[in-house]
Chains A and B, each alone.
Chain A
């Protein structure tokens, strides 16, 4: 069975994000003064072949710990969804 793993990675609090600051300044230039803070991040989609969603989640979590995320500076959220269901829904 195929699953789609979705991973969102953001910088931890206290880790400076120069891209985020530059984007916030640009928003201010566009008069969006209400934009108080911008933090950038990364998004990954991983197609995973696994017997069930628990196994797919476990594999995705291992991928995050080993490669996708640097825990010194980043934190992440991830979940998986079956691909077949997604396709039938569309």
Chain B
């Protein structure tokens, strides 16, 4: 089982993801440079956070056309697992691998803080170790995390249970005060219609060790491991 962490010029959470996957979870993990044209036979590709290509033009817009993203496209088309975190989520929406777009935060500021997330769909390769409605604490750090899509798209992703994580309060409650960036429907993460591409603004790799304050994020990666193992042993 191999994980690939894509490195764009300006990625800055690539080492954090690599650390959690290889050191904390003991998994085979490789970096894939943006100029590479394949994903090194990985079972799961991580698009990490950061400021790929300086966030020039729009966050994620230039990364979309890098050679590695053509490979990620093909990988996703074949059903491969792709996890986009923060800037990685922005790259996925710009690449049209996920619907919608990420606008500047409602308050106009960069936000770096812990938030609470409600797990809304546990029937995915990325969330199968969570329980439905479970609340986890996890950090966000972004300027453009305000999820937006046209009303008909929002309706569709709600109906298809593509909303995977929503911002909430510590008890799972949702109100204007628990939505940090103005995202429509408090959406923090969505999954593709086919269920193999997940994008989320919060950083699970920064919530994977007790020493960092919470371990809620670790189960995102562990869910992928479980799912891949079950695939391998044909129990799904």
| Chain A residues in the interface with B (C-beta under 8 A) | 15-16, 18-19, 21-22, 67-68, 70, 72-73
Contact = CB atoms under 8 A, between A and B. Distances in A.
Given A68-B57, A70-B58, A70-B61, A19 B148 contact: no
Contacts of B149: 72
A2 B156 CA distance: 46
Q: Is the interface of A mostly helix, strand, loop or mixed?
A: helix
Contact of B104 (A18, A67, A68, A70): A18
Contacts of A68: 57
A67 B65 contact: yes
6 contacts: A18-B108, A67-B57, A68-B57, A70-B101, A72-B93, A72-B149
Given A16-B103, A16-B182, A18-B105, 5 more contacts: A15-B103, A18-B104, A18-B107, A73-B103, A73-B148
Interface in B89-139: 93-94, 100-101, 103-108
Contacts of A67: 57, 61, 65
A42 to B, nearest CB: 8
B61 A72 contact: no
B146 interface: yes
B175 interface: no
A68 B57 CA distance: 7
A72 B146 CA distance: 14
B150 interface: yes
B106 A72 contact: no
Given A67-B61, A70-B61, A19 B103 contact: no
A16 B61 contact: no
A19 B101 contact: no
A70 B91 CA distance: 12
Q: Which 4 A-B pairs have the closest CB atoms?
A: A18-B108, A72-B101, A73-B101, A18-B104
Contacts of A72: 93, 100-101, 148-150
A39 B146 CA distance: 17
A24 B182 CA distance: 19
Contacts of A22: 108
